[in-house]
Amino acid sequence: MTRPDAAICPGCGTPVPLLPGVGMRAVACSSCGEDLMVETFPALFSFDEPVLAGEMGGEGESVCFYHESRKAVSVCGECGRFLCSLCEIRLGGRNLCPACVHRGREEERLEALVTRRTLYDGVALTLSVAPLLFFFVTIITAPLAIFMSIRFWNKPGSILPRTKIRFVLAILFSLAQVAGWGFLLIGMVKNA
C-alpha cells in the first residue's frame, strides 16, 4: 500500500504536498488558493516499508476493528473503522469494511455490486395499460398501479439513467380508469 504524499485540491485537482506533522491543519492550494483542512496521523510519516498482510500491531499503533492484534492500514470510507490489510476491501475507489460491503449490497447502495433491479415504473405502467384489453380487471389493477407508483417513486430505478415519466403515465392512466369506474357506478346507481 502506498502512502499519499499529497492531498488533492477539490477545486482544481492539483496535488497539495503534505508536510510532516500530526493533527488537523489548513493547507492552501498553490494553484487556486483554496484552503484545505487536512488531518494527518503519525503512521503517515513513521515508516516507508510496506505493511505485510496481517502484520501484528505494536504498542501505540492503530489496530484493526475486527482483529485487535493486527495493524490498521486504512479506514473504512463508510463507517470510519480502522482496517488491517486482511479486512480492507477496495470497491469503487474506496476502502470498505466487510460489514459496510454487506450492508451496501443488501440495501443496493453500492453500484459496483448491483447486478439487476426490478423496474417498478415499468411494472406500474404495465398494470395500468395491459388490463385495458379486459376492462373489468382494471377495477383492481388501476388502484394497484397507483399504489405501486407512489410506493416505489423514490426506489432506485434502472442501473442506467431513467426518468420518472413511466410512473407519471401509470398514475394518469390509472386515475382515468378509476374515474371511468366512478362514472359507471354513479350511472348504475342513478338508473336503479
Give me the percent of the chain exceeding a pLDDT of 90: 26
First-to-last alpha carbon distance for the chain, in angstroms, is 82
- Taking only the tens place, the pLDDT of each residue in 52-106 is 555 665 566 788 888 888 888 888 888 888 888 888 989 878 889 999 988 888 8
CA 4 – CA 63 distance, rounded (Å) = 20
Is the pLDDT assigned to residue 192 strictly greater than 80? no
Confidence of residue 146 (pLDDT cuts 50, 70, 90): very high
Helix 120-129 and helix 138-151, axial crossing angle in degrees, nearest 10: 160
Its sign, for the CA torsion 39, 43, 48, 54, is negative
Cα atoms in the 13 Å half-sphere on the side-chain side of 74: 20
The answer to whether the CB of 167 falls within 8 A of the CB of 153 is yes
Could you tell me which residue, 132 or 173, shows the higher pLDDT? 173
Q: What is the mean pLDDT of residues 151-164?
A: 82
Q: What is the mean pLDDT of residues 163-171?
A: 92
Is the pLDDT assigned to residue 27 strictly greater than 50? yes
pTM, two decimal places: 0.47
Give the three cell numbers for residue 9. Answer: 485540491
The answer to whether the CB of 176 falls within 8 A of the CB of 168 is no
Give the three cell numbers for residue 38. Answer: 487536512
Is the pLDDT assigned to residue 38 strictly greater than 80? no
Could you tell me which residue, 25 or 153, shows the higher pLDDT? 153
> CB-based contacts of 21: which residues, under 8 Å, 6+ apart?
40
